[in-house]
Each structure stands twice: as C-alpha cells, then as structure tokens.
Amino acid sequence: MLLDVLDPVPGAYTLVVSSPGLDRPLSEDEDFQRFAGEKAAIRYMPDGGQRRTVNGILKGLADDKVVVELYIPLAEVEEAHLTYDWDAEDTEKQ
C-alpha cells in the first residue's frame, strides 16, 4: 500500500474506509431532492408534540417541507435516512 511506502503518518495507525451504506443519512436539503423516489424513514418532532417516524417513498421538498406521505416541516426533522427493501431485490431476481 502506498501509505506504507510513503509513511506520511508517524507510528502505528488504523485506516478506516466507509461508505454511507444502505441507510444513507439525509442531512442536506439537496439530499431530499436527489433521493426522491427512494424509500426513506423520517423521524421528526412537530411543534409541541411527540417524536414521530414516517416510512414511505421520498417525494422531495416542497415549500421547505419534506414530502413523504405527508408534509413535514424541514425544521422539525431530527433524523432521516434511506431504507432498503430486501424483499424487492429477491423479487427482481426471479
């Protein structure tokens, strides 16, 4: 490995390589548009309410609201990530 040859880091180190994975976080406004059409889980907290999670097909953003199966104000979204449908992959292979 080139890092071992060049040795830019003195001493021992651990190289960690990762990817966003199947449950990719949606953290930027653009993410909600870019991944429109994908299954997603959106956890949010409405004003004065309890935390809720909505699972569905991501439609994007409209007037600063995340569109899934209902409108969620972007300011209330605490966490969002893509979800993967393992059953759909099995159906496609048949």
- pLDDT tens for each residue of 10-43: 788 787 777 777 788 998 999 999 999 998 999 9
Q: Is residue 64 part of a domain?
A: yes
> What are the strands, taking DSSP E only, across the chain?
39-44, 52-57, 60-62, 65-67, 71-73, 77-82
Q: Is residue 16 part of a domain?
A: no
Q: Is residue 38 part of a domain?
A: yes
Token reading at 42: 């959106």
CATH number at residue 80: 2.30.30
Q: Are 35 and 58 in contact (CB under 8 A)?
A: yes
Q: Give 18 or 59, the one with higher predicted confidence.
A: 59
Q: Is residue 4 part of a domain?
A: no
Task: Provide mean pLDDT across the span 80-94.
Answer: 76
Reply yes or no on whether the pLDDT at 94 is more than 70: no
Q: Is residue 55 part of a domain?
A: yes
Q: How many domains are contained in the chain?
A: 1
Distance CA 63, CA 71 (A): 10
Q: Which structural domain, as residue segments, surrounds residue 31? A: 21-85
Q: Give 59 or 16, the one with higher predicted confidence.
A: 59
Task: Provide mean pLDDT across the span 50-73.
Answer: 87
Q: Is residue 91 part of a domain?
A: no
Task: Provide mean pLDDT across the span 1-9.
Answer: 75
Q: Is residue 5 part of a domain?
A: no
Q: Is residue 50 part of a domain?
A: yes
